[in-house]
Amino acid sequence: MAFNGHQRDDEGIDEDETPTKQPRSNKEMPGGYFRHEPNNEATASAGRATSERRTSNSTTRHRVDSVKKTRPPFPWFGMDIGGTLVKLVYFEPKDITAEEEQEEVENLKSIRRYLTSNTAYGKTGIRDVHLELQDLTLCGRTGNLHFIRFPTHDLPAFLQMGRNKHFSSLHTTLCATGGGAYKFESDFRTMADLELHKLDELDCLIRGVLYIDSVMSSGPSECYYFENPTDPDRCIQRPYTLENPYPLLLVNIGSGVSILAVYSESNYKRVTGTSLGGGTFLGLCCLLTGCSTFEEALEMASQGESTRVDKLVRDIYGGDYESFGNMMSKEKRESVSKEDLARATLVTITNNIGSITRMCALNENIERVVFVGNFLRVNTLSMKLLAYAMDYWSKGQLKALFLRHEGYFGAVGALLELLHPS
């Protein structure tokens, strides 16, 4: 990769690198440190201490040099280009030395200031400040991890911004995952002079989930569930500790849905999926209600008539699936509101995902289900419906788990691949 940034060289040890054990017997050590003199134990002890100090210093220098050679220069990004949203994670170093700051090129400073001093970019770009991870140590550097998203249809504006800020002079290769990494590869090259290093979407997803869960040791728990999901009056969110997570069923709900059976970080398989996901929900809502954004569709759904939705849910769990069945009646079509249509669409999509997930859990004999993906962003209604479905169909044996960073795990995995290539 071709970069033009600056790094600290004096410290920062990669915890992943384990030093080779040094020899300690007098046969293996260089001469002069140990002598076989039974009556001079103090001398032998002093010799051992001196030897160990020199060995320790040598090992530390070796590890620092190794990190410097493998650590990429700034800026550090990871991208997940989905069908509906682009997710971007950016590591902001907070331990920059005075010497580094003097040597740092202006383009790098400009990009860092732009990304960290704003919470909105243009009309649609958003930095999710509530998800920011502070004082994080990555590859021997300390800083903050920022989470940024914007609609995929605004990718040309993002590329133009990168071109205006001369991003390619700093970073000519960008780690990216998602279908858009293939679809828009030529646009990155022609519009912003950037090369994409395309990564496997599922590898990045799993790597990102496991990493974020491992670093969330303080503050709000990354993982949570809904207690009493079948009782709306008593349904409350509770933290959940994801210890010894394997095996688990990982359900990624984005524009479409992928369901993975995960047995370890490196042992997993894609069980199934469906094209009926967040993209279907938004597309149908735009068609039926005239809304134009995901947030608008969710707001309309939250105001839909609850009795009709309740009837729909009861029909599903009773075995009589009548989603949109009432729309065959002209009289009922004329009386239904746009909010009701949005709500019915959300419930239909969500319960279809829940039904497929439950069947996969049974077939794979897995009792732990984790739902992720941007379809769940600000979408408590769907999360509670999924929790209800898992609890109801499994007679309380299955617990639906959710993660705070929802749709950013693929981008986190891409960033980790930049720092620690697999």
Give me 35's structure tokens: 């002598």
Cβ atoms within 10 A of the Cβ of 20, count?
A: 7
Give me 197's structure tokens: 């290093």
What is the SS3 assignment for 30?
Answer: coil
Q: How many angstroms from the chain centroid is the CA of residue 240?
A: 18
**Residue 368 pairs with which residues in a beta bridge?**
399
The answer for residues whose C-beta is within 8 angstroms of residue 116's C-beta and 6 or more apart is: 92, 144, 146
What's the number of CA atoms in the CB half-sphere (13 Å) around residue 86? 23
Residues 82 and 177: their CA atoms lie apart, in Å, by 8
Q: How many angstroms from the chain centroid is the CA of residue 47?
A: 51
Host H or E run for residue 13:
none
**Residue 177 pairs with which residues in a beta bridge?**
80
Q: Does the annotation count 201 as an active-site position?
A: yes
Residues 353 and 274: their CA atoms lie apart, in Å, by 8
- Give me the catalytic one of 100, 103, 201, 299: 201
Q: Give catalytic residues, as residue numbers.
A: 201
